[in-house]
A and B are shown apart, each in its own frame.
Chain A
Amino acid sequence: MCTGTALARSELPLALVSQHRLAERLYDRDGREEFQFQWWQSPAVLPVRRNGRIEIIPWGSKSRKGPLPYGGWVSQDHVAEGLFAHANPEEVVIPANLGWQAGAWFLIVEGIRGVVVETRSGPVVYMLMEPASNYYRNMTEQSPMMPIFVRQVI
């Protein structure tokens, strides 16, 4: 899993910050300002690079009753098997400098691969996952799955 990401303040357009009230998600990490996007936040959102610009999109579903899978993560294999075939899935990049899992912040070079699906209330993004490497499992207290990184192997 990857239950949070961080992106430098300078990497998000000011208009987005005010539109989505992201100031509440602004943190200071030893003098470096960054926006943190955590699954526990309400609403959970993620920045997404889509159509040549960055958008802030709701992250997954915290409801077990709706049509969407519960959680913010889906296996790449399940998507390939047609999990979102009805919802016009679109592969995107979730830009991030850092990822968070089980208490550890780890470096992300470019971002995480995600999938945006269309719902009646608008687009929703999920992180794409694959079985965790030995490295990732050790770093994250044996998380069985890990995000798929863009041009990065860990």
Chain B
Amino acid sequence: MKTLVGFGDADSFYASAEVVRRPWLRGLAVGVLGNQGACVIARNYPMKRHGVKVGEPIWEAKKKCPTGVYVKRDFRWYETLSRKMLAEAGLFSQKIEYYSIDEFFWEGSATRGRTFRQTAEDIREHVKLSTGLPMTVAFARTRTLAKLFADTAKPYGAVAVEDADHETEILAKLPVTEIAGIARGSAAKLEPHGIKTCLDLRQASGLLVRRLLTVTGHDIWRELNGYRVTPIRTTRTPHKMLSRGGSLAGRVKDAYTLYGWLVRNVERLIEELQFHEVRPSTLTVAVSYFDADSATGVANLCVPSARFDVLLDAAKRGLRRAWRPGRVATHMHLIASGLKRGPWQQSLFDPADPKRDAVARAKRTINDLLGRWKLRSGATLFANDWYDDPANEHEVCDVRGKFCF
């Protein structure tokens, strides 16, 4: 039986999710604001028609779209709908990949008695009926092609491009920058060689593409030519590194506040390390500044560990290197790398500490029972405002099992 790669992409997902929850918003221009209330992180098609772009500050957006309604993001709700969408789309294929919060790939064949195009329409209708979310569905020979063709069919499209001639017709109209993974820098490398459209790239020499865009670009080239490079992955491949952090909710100059954020990020990272049952060998603290260059501090751990005291000690060492006294910090990330999976052996540098283990267990149990961050380090009081807002309890990175944002 002929199989193609299916791809589903919810249209304006965050904004559509808000409409599902509050149907009276249907037809209105809706913009979802980020956790600082400053930028539009998603908008629906009515707001898009006013020219509002993703990432645009609200003070610009409201000028372009004075009747627009601005909503605070709620990743807990978006995750609920995302998983529902995944389950419903999964009824059409046994091999489905949770690619991002609003995108799914699957290996699919046409439903009996239906063409691929009709099957795409069926999936789209089913997802809409069962979740309320509009989704564009595409079938093509590879992931890259399916994603590209879905983008041309948005919003609420259903397409199937099954043969090379049909592909050629569409690819000739698309600039290379439409391909996920080819940004302006890569496009600038391709242009002197006359490669401007997706079709130009597909017809270029593979050797040239690899020279210009490395193996990653070469894989895209192969996908454009109909060769399936990346299979459908039904479970998340193990992480090579784990990271937690992000915005500091404003500009932070005070060392204690920065330290509060450091401890918060250590606690978030430990949650993730425990979930994945890994321990890092290296911890990197990266801080971005408003009025200075970004800085990083790397701390190696004697023994891979996910213990709070050990990681906090390493994080402090990292922060000392990344901290620029007197400068205004805006973002911080903690990156755990060199992840080791069990079984772990006790060593001289990793003596057992039953008291600390008991405290960690108690903390985890209490938070599992009463809610995230109900019990947390006292040092996070320096960043306390952040905990007042329940929307900050759940970020997009907390949606587990997907491959990217």
A, B assembled together: yes
Interface residue ranges, A against B (CB under 8 Å): 8, 29-32, 97-98, 103-107, 133-139, 141, 153-154
Complex interface: chain A residues within 8 A of B28 (CB): 29-30, 32
Binds A, one of B61-69, B175-183, B336-344: B61-69
Instruction: Count residues on chain B whose CB falls below 8 Å from chain A CBs.
Output: 31
Is chain A's binding surface mostly helix, strand, loop or mixed? mixed
B389 touching A106 by the CB < 8 A rule? no
Q: Which of B38, B385, B388, B391 contacts A138 (CB 8 A)?
A: B38
**B390 — nearest CB in chain A belongs to which residue?**
A153
Q: Which of A98, A134, A138 contacts B58 (CB 8 A)?
A: A138
- In Å, the complex CA distance between A98 and B25 comes to 11
**A104 — nearest CB in chain B belongs to which residue?**
B62
Binds A, one of B29-37, B94-102, B219-227: B29-37
B24 touching A32 by the CB < 8 A rule? yes
Complex interface: chain A residues within 8 A of B24 (CB): 8, 32, 97
- Assuming A105-B69, A105-B70, A138-B58, what are 19 further A-B pairs, CB within 8 angstroms? A29-B67, A30-B27, A30-B67, A31-B27, A98-B69, A103-B59, A103-B62, A103-B66, A104-B58, A104-B70, A107-B18, A107-B25, A107-B69, A107-B71, A133-B388, A134-B250, A139-B33, A141-B59, A153-B388
- In Å, the complex CA distance between A98 and B63 comes to 18
Shortest distance between the CB of B322 and any CB in chain A (Å): 23
Complex interface: chain B residues within 8 A of A30 (CB): 27-29, 46, 67
**B33 — nearest CB in chain A belongs to which residue?**
A139
**B18 — nearest CB in chain A belongs to which residue?**
A107
B37 touching A138 by the CB < 8 A rule? yes
Shortest distance between the CB of B100 and any CB in chain A (Å): 25
In B240-291, the 8 Å CB interface with A consists of: 249-250
Complex interface: chain B residues within 8 A of A104 (CB): 58, 62, 70
A134 touching B388 by the CB < 8 A rule? no
Q: Say whether B364 faces chain A, with CB atoms less than 8 Å apart.
A: no
26 A-B contacts (beta carbon < 8 Å): A29-B28, A30-B27, A30-B28, A32-B27, A32-B28, A103-B59, A103-B63, A104-B58, A104-B70, A105-B68, A106-B69, A107-B22, A107-B25, A107-B69, A107-B72, A133-B388, A134-B36, A134-B37, A134-B249, A136-B37, A138-B37, A138-B38, A139-B37, A153-B389, A153-B390, A154-B389
Shortest distance between the CB of B150 and any CB in chain A (Å): 27
Complex interface: chain A residues within 8 A of B46 (CB): 30
B37 touching A135 by the CB < 8 A rule? yes
A133 touching B389 by the CB < 8 A rule? yes
Complex interface: chain A residues within 8 A of B388 (CB): 133, 153
